[in-house]
Amino acid sequence: MDELVELSYLDAVVRETLRLHAPVPSTVRVAMKDDILPVDTPFTDKYGVVHDGINVRKGDSIFIPILAINRSEAIWGTDAKEFNPDRWASLPEVASQVPGVWGHLMTFLGGPRACIGYRFSLVEMKALLFTLVRAFEFELAVPASDVGKRSTLVQRPFLRSDPESKSQLPLLVKPYRKTSGLS
């Protein structure tokens, strides 16, 4: 554990993976009563009326776009859709306003019904990466363009050439051989 915690680049890679590829891309909440949701910045509706809150009625569904927030250019900058672990070295200030339970991200949601397994997930991801990436080389066994994502609650990969089959991601796995570059 101590060794894993000290690896700052591994930490940045895990954060960036969970930002860009949040396994749960969205969720829904249902309003328990008529209410007004406060907004940070007033907005103008299609009739030209300015609002500083969103009226909801009891029973309304409220869509929470986890992945869209994680990839928002307004928060993460123009390269928001790129995989860049280095961004975690200096976070944009606005990211600190994201109300996620972990990492300035919505990946594990926030509030009283946020994910209770997030610490376990982080350690597990780090331990797997630390062990597997140093021991093996991974390569896609199919063209990247053949890999699609489908989602019920959790996003999973499938093959566009084999859409009837269950989720799959064929990989070629080889033992890692360190090459010195010297002959």
Q: Is 115 annotated as contributing to ligand binding?
A: yes
Would you count residue 116 as binding ligand HEM (CB under 6 A)? Answer: yes
Would you count residue 120 as binding ligand HEM (CB under 6 A)? Answer: yes
Span from 5-13, 106-114, 158-166, 169-177 in contact with ligand HEM (CB under 6 A): 106-114
- The correct pick among 4, 12, 23, 159 for binding ligand HEM (CB under 6 A) is 23
| Total number of residues shown for the chain | 183
Would you count residue 7 as binding ligand HEM (CB under 6 A)? Answer: no
Would you count residue 24 as binding ligand HEM (CB under 6 A)? Answer: yes
Site size toward ligand HEM (CB under 6 A) is: 12
CA 68, CA 35: separation in Å to the nearest integer? 24
Would you count residue 115 as binding ligand HEM (CB under 6 A)? Answer: yes
Helices (H), the chain: 2-6, 8-20, 66-70, 73-76, 118-135
Would you count residue 102 as binding ligand HEM (CB under 6 A)? Answer: no
Select from 80, 63, 79, 62 the least CA-distant residue to 71: 80
DSSP-derived pairing of the beta strands 136-140 and 171-175? antiparallel
- The correct pick among 77, 121, 129, 155 for binding ligand HEM (CB under 6 A) is 121
Residues 6+ apart with CB under 8 A from 133: none
CA 90, CA 77: separation in Å to the nearest integer? 12
Binding site for ligand HEM (CB under 6 A): 23-24, 27, 107-109, 113, 115-117, 120-121
